Amino acid sequence: MTERTKQNRTIAGGMGSILSSARQLWRHRVGDVKCLLRANQPGGFDCPGCAWPESRQATHLEFCENGIKAIAHEATHRRIDREFFARHPLSRLREQSHYWLEQQGRLSEPLYRNRHSDHYEPIGWEETFSLIGSHLRGLDHPDEAVLYTSGRTSNEAAFLFQLFGRLLGTNNLPDSANLCHESSGVALTEAIGTGKGTVTLEDFELADAIFVFGQNPGSNHPRMLTELEKASKRGCRIVSVNPLKEAGLIGFIDPRHLGATLLRRPTPISSLYLQPLVGGDLALIKGMMKVLLEREAQQVGRVLDHDFIDNHTQGFAACVRDLENTTWSQIESGSGLNRAQITQAAEIYLNAERVIACWAMGLTQQKHAVATIQTLTNWMLLGGNLGKPGAGLCPVRGHSNVQGDRTMGITVQPNPTFLEALGREFRFRSPQRPGYDTVSSIKAMAEGKVKVLICMGGNLAAAAPDRSYTEDALSRLQLTVQVSTKLNRSHLICGKEALILPCLGRTELDLQATGPQQVTVEDSMSMVHTSRGHRRPASPHLRSEPAIIAGMAKAVLGEEGPDWDELVADYDRIRTKIAAVIPVFRDYNRKIRQAGGFYLGNSARERRWQTPTGKAHFLVHPLPHPQSAPDQLRLMTMRSHDQYNTTIYGLNDRYRGIEGRRLVVFLHPEDMHTRGLEAGARVDLISAAEDGVPRRATGFEVVPYDIPKGCAGAYFPETNVLVPIDSYADRSITPTGKLIPIRLRPAG
Ligand code: SF4
């Protein structure tokens, strides 16, 4: 173990969280305690971090360490202006790390780079819009434009953005969900008729068992640990399924509880912790189902929920046949777990009346992600664990409004009813052709089919797979437009002309013609609520996302479409339009003014199955057989604790014992031994992709870790270079950030 690598932890939260949060606030000179107290509060702003919902019994401290990092970096005193770009040519900035770029502070004025310059220079807003207008009007076809949305974008901005795209004539509206939970949406829509999770926070209070697959809430959704802690304390059994041992799934001290923090008294979280092979989840779930069938054979009619299966599902017989034909040796070798371990997990399921299954990127970014999530749904259907209190499916979304953006119509395959309503309300014919998703957009850019890219937030250059391919594709564009709060790599890997349009952050006052405005967001459990910023904006030159979209739309569309100025003057008017197009938002402006917002509902939660057959479907998939040579490892990419998506707040990964660096690869000690590697050795990771293109991530330090033999873990976005553009989940086209076959070589 090297000097800077400490023992990985078994407790999340506690004093470590308090100290780390204080350091972030101090570093960014954020002393505005009032601002923190407004996070996730009625009348306050929605944390720009993750999409975990607010508790009904909200306290004054409804934020976590990650939330503080996001707020501190938004409220930072550091600014990026024209002098910064005069000092730093793009060619130099491209050599900087994601972390360094993030530390430079808030973008404070619109910036332009022309095709002959290595520098961004200031530009006025009106000039900005007319430049965008002339590029978009000059396209041969509307599909030569792509409008990308990140999951931070509010409902109001997302609705206007998709309207702008469709008035332009394209459905090229990819989003960050294409890179994360698309697999969940595809899988669930086919199986149960809705692409969203079926549970609410109240269900967590009633569940007898909670299974957490491929998720690390301690770093990625920290307030979920509060719910798991409460559940654990009242005797709910929690089963964690993750190749890596993660501190947050072992023990937790809520830092808001001073006594427990000072006395260092953690609550144990997991009753059982299973560490399957990377990509072994589908086999594990089949194993658990097989145990259920075996028990059902012994206690006929007392294990499975036959009433539910008979009345609400289709395909049960095929599911049973498949399980009978799947052998235990296939299950054990596919999952990397033995029959006894799988039986233990299955027993927790069958002894529970109400089960919740949660999952995140560990499931969604595998090649067979859709099959895995549908198998997981089969398992839940066997016990009737859908549509009853305390039970259901819970895909835990990442960015704070990623689910809401999709509800607002940010999708490349809009449903015809939505398009018709949109066309009726705004008196135009919406384009019907499906648009490019994120992967296809990048490929279309590489082939010269796309000329203009407009990004509403995000960091596409860093988030996308196959770094060299993606960066080459982006640099072929005629114009790239980034609407952002802070500097990131996507501002540096730009088209021949490039614009940076700085926008307001969530914590900031959004003042429009009729007064201060609030926006709305939808959390991971379909609750819609308001977000209102109060802080003085980082610069007087910032505009809100709706105002920027309106500026672009007017410059391109002229008189076509709505009165954009009128909509932006008062966001209630945008919400009135949303309500006219999306029926579930009827009475939107009244409903968001009620305490806590409102619930959008979920048909599967009510046991209404909006599938072609009107039933929930058992969908059967064979076990995958990932091929790997004996010297290959299955790499999973993941975030560090000081990171949110592609935003790198710091260089520590406290719970995994890493300090001051990111280029590390976690390996099982035996895998190190067979390769003659000591802790601290330097290696390059070589992707063993079938397309034969050499892909190499260089200079990683070996760290021994509690991870299954044959597997490896390392941080993204640094390892995205190893994922080929054509390596994605079947049908959802989500890039395979998990189960990347790699070899290790001494660092070159
Ligand atoms: S759990 Fe998510 S939404 Fe809540 S404070 Fe933390 S990062 Fe923000």
What are the sequence ranges of the domains in the chain? 107-180+401-594, 182-395, 633-746
Count CB-CB contacts under 10 A for residue 657: 18
Which of 624, 524, 637 lies closest to 185, judged by CA? 524
Give the residue among 519, 515, 516 at the shortest CA–CA distance from 535: 516
Mutational test site, ligand 1, from 40, 50, 54, 59, max ligand atoms within 8 Å of CB: 50
Report d(CA 739, CA 717) in Å as an integer: 15
**Residue bearing the CA closest to ligand 1, atom 3:** 50
User: pLDDT-based confidence at 4, cuts 50/70/90?
Assistant: low
Q: 457 — alpha (psi -120 to 50), left (phi > 0) or beta?
A: left
Please determine, for residue 260, whether its predicted confidence score (pLDDT) is greater than 60: yes
Largest CA distance in the chain: 76
Atom number in ligand 1 closest to CA 222: 1
Q: Which atom of ligand 1 is nearest to the CA of 49?
A: 7
Q: Is 5 a residue whose pLDDT tops 90?
A: no
pLDDT at 20: 86
pLDDT level of residue 10 (50, 70, 90 thresholds): confident
Task: Tell me the per-residue pLDDT of 694-731, one tens digit each, with 9 for 90 and over.
Answer: 899 999 999 999 999 999 999 999 999 999 999 999 99
Q: Let me know how long the chain is.
A: 748
Tell me how far the alpha carbon of residue 155 lies from the centroid of ligand 1, in angstroms. Answer: 18
Q: Contact 475/501 with Cβ under 8 angstroms?
A: no
What does the block give as tokens for 92?
Answer: 């130099």
Mean pLDDT of 36-53: 85
> Would you state the CATH architecture of domain 633-746?
Beta Barrel (2.40)
Confidence of residue 200 (pLDDT cuts 50, 70, 90): very high
Q: Name all residues whose Cβ lies below 6 A of ligand 1.
A: 47, 49-50, 52, 63-64, 66-67, 221-223
- Ligand 1 center–CA 65 separation, angstroms: 8
Q: What is the mean pLDDT of residues 187-212?
A: 97
pLDDT of res. 58: 63
Q: Which residues contact 682 (CB under 8 A, 6 or more apart)?
A: 699, 700, 701, 702, 746, 747
Residue 284, C-beta contacts closer than 8 angstroms, at least 6 positions apart? 241, 274, 276, 331, 335, 337, 342, 345
Shortest-distance atom of ligand 1 to CA 51 = 3
b/e string for 153-173 if b means 16 or more Cβ within 10 A? bbbbbbbbbbbbbbbbbbbbb
According to the model, what pLDDT value does residue 65 have? 87
| C-alpha atoms less than 13 angstroms from C-alpha of 152 in its C-beta half-sphere | 25
d(CA 299, CA 301): 6
pLDDT above 60: residue 1: no
* Class for the domain spanning 107-180+401-594: alpha beta
- Counting from 1 in the atom list of ligand 1, the atom nearest the Cα of 221 is 1
- For range 455-473, the mean pLDDT: 97
pLDDT of residue 365: 97
Mutate to test the pocket of ligand 1, among 37, 60, 223, 225 (most ligand atoms within 8 A of CB): 223
41 CA → ligand 1 middle, Å: 12
Given ligand 1 and candidates 54, 64, 228, 397, which is best to mutate, with the most ligand atoms within 8 Å of its CB?
A: 64
Q: Which residue has the higher pLDDT, 596 or 129?
A: 129
Residue 290's pLDDT is: 98
Does residue 628 have a pLDDT over 90? no
643 SS3 class:
strand
Of 63-67, 193-197, 383-387, 539-543, minimum mean pLDDT range: 63-67
Q: What is the mean pLDDT of residues 682-700?
A: 92
Q: Quote the pLDDT of residue 441.
A: 98
Local confidence band at 21 (pLDDT 50, 70, 90 cut-offs): confident
Q: Is the pLDDT of residue 3 over 60?
A: no
Which of 180-189, 251-260, 555-564 is least confident? 251-260
**How far apart are alpha carbons 714 and 585 in whole angstroms?**
42
Query: Domain 182-395 class?
Result: alpha beta
* pLDDT value for 7: 61
Banded pLDDT at 8 (limits 50, 70, 90): low
Q: What is the mean pLDDT of residues 325-330?
A: 98
pLDDT confidence bin for 690, thresholds 50/70/90: confident
Least confident piece of the model among 71-85, 183-197, 279-293, 700-714: 71-85
Amino acid at 632: Q
SS3 breakdown of the chain: % helix, strand, coil, rounded to 5? 40, 20, 45
Whether the bond into 694 is cis, omega within 30 of 0: no
Cβ neighbors of 554 (< 8 A, separation 6 or more) are 129, 564, 565
* Mean pLDDT over each residue of the chain, to the nearest integer: 94
CB distance 574 to 159 below 8 Å: yes
CA of 62 to the centre of ligand 1 (A): 8
Q: Ligand 1 centre and the CA of 99: distance in Å?
A: 21
Ligand 1 pocket mutation, candidates 40, 41, 47, 506, criterion most atoms within 8 A of CB: 47
Predicted local distance difference test score (pLDDT) of residue 257: 85
Residue 499 has pLDDT above 80, yes or no: yes
Which band of pLDDT confidence, cut at 50, 70 and 90, is reported for residue 189? Answer: very high
Ligand 1 atom with the smallest distance to the CA of 66 is: 7
Residue 254 C-alpha to ligand 1 middle, in angstroms? 14
- The tens digit of pLDDT for each residue in 566-603 reads 999 999 999 999 999 999 999 999 999 998 899 999 99
Q: Among the listed ranges 95-99, 108-112, 254-258, which one has the minimum average pLDDT value?
A: 254-258
Distance CA 238, CA 207 (A): 10
Residue 6 has pLDDT above 80, yes or no: no
Q: What is the pLDDT of residue 698?
A: 97
